[in-house]
């Protein structure tokens, strides 16, 4: 599932004419970073929700071959992150699935033995987990201005970061979840944070430290910063090849 239906209010005026997931970063639309990561992880089918400027989104996704993309249409009612997933559950099926944000992405560490999504998939256990989140340290992030989201407990479970209970980690916009976490979800729009808290309460929210660098693009100013970082990364990759 790729969450791509947001209005991009903080990105205005750019998003008055371009859906936020299609804003280019170093020449690549934001959503293509997510879809390319899924393709590398051998995901064959991705459900993408759309709302703002849906025609532009449909046209762009029609040109994708890997993964195959299927639209979850929220044109009439925007469902927020959690509600959007619930609406798409019939298309997603009964097995665990990835959820990715379309407004953030990451650059893999070249020396890593496997990609972050493959590592996330390998680490997920339906027996003990409802959700497994990919997490970044604040110093691994560009464009992030928060204080942190979670901390690791001793056994790998996650707790909310309260400012003083450990080293803060940032949710890096990618997770694996079992659809049962949505069994008691409310009707209509709601935030995925509701599911995070439910999984914490049941002791079934876990995290995985990512490798590489995470970039989030929430404002026009962040576009240039992210583009500059990607360009430097690509130059370094070429020089070291």
List the domain boundaries for the chain: 2-240
Q: Which residues contact 66 (CB under 8 A, 6 or more apart)?
A: 39, 44
Helix pair angle (80-92, 193-201), 10° resolution? 80
Structure tokens at 148: 């942190």
Q: Is the peptide bond before 13 cis (omega within 30 degrees of 0)?
A: yes
pTM for the structure as a whole:
0.94
Averages of pLDDT over each 10 residues, the chain, 241 residues? 92 91 95 97 97 95 93 95 97 96 94 94 96 97 92 92 91 97 94 96 97 94 92 73 53
- CATH numeric code, 2-240: 3.90.550.10
The H-or-E segment that residue 133 falls in is strand 131-136
């Amino acid at each position: 599932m790729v969450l791509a239906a947001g209005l991009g209010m903080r990105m205005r005026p750019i998003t008055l004419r371009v859906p936020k997931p299609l804003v280019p970063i170093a020449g690549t639309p934001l959503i293509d970073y997510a879809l390319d990561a899924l393709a590398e992880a051998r995901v064959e089918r991705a459900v993408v929700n759309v709302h703002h400027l849906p025609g532009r989104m449909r046209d762009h996704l029609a040109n994708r071959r890997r993964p195959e993309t299927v639209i979850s249409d929220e044109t009439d009612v925007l469902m927020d992150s959690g509600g959007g997933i619930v609406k798409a559950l019939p298309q997603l099926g009964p097995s665990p699935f990835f959820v990715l944000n379309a407004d953030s992405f990451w650059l893999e560490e070249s020396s890593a033995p496997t990609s972050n999504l493959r590592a996330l998939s390998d680490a997920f256990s339906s027996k003990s987990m409802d959700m497994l989140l990919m997490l970044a340290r604040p110093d691994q992030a560009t464009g992030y201005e928060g204080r942190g989201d979670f901390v690791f407990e001793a056994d790998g479970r996650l707790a909310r970061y309260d400012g003083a209970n450990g080293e803060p980690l940032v949710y890096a916009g990618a997770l694996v979840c079992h659809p049962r976490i949505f069994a008691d979800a409310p009707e209509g729009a709601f935030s995925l944070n509701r599911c995070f808290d439910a999984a914490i309460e049941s002791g079934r929210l876990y995290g995985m430290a990512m490798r590489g660098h995470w970039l989030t693009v929430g404002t026009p100013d962040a576009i240039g910063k992210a583009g500059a970082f990607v360009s430097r990364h690509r130059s370094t990759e070429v020089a070291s090849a």
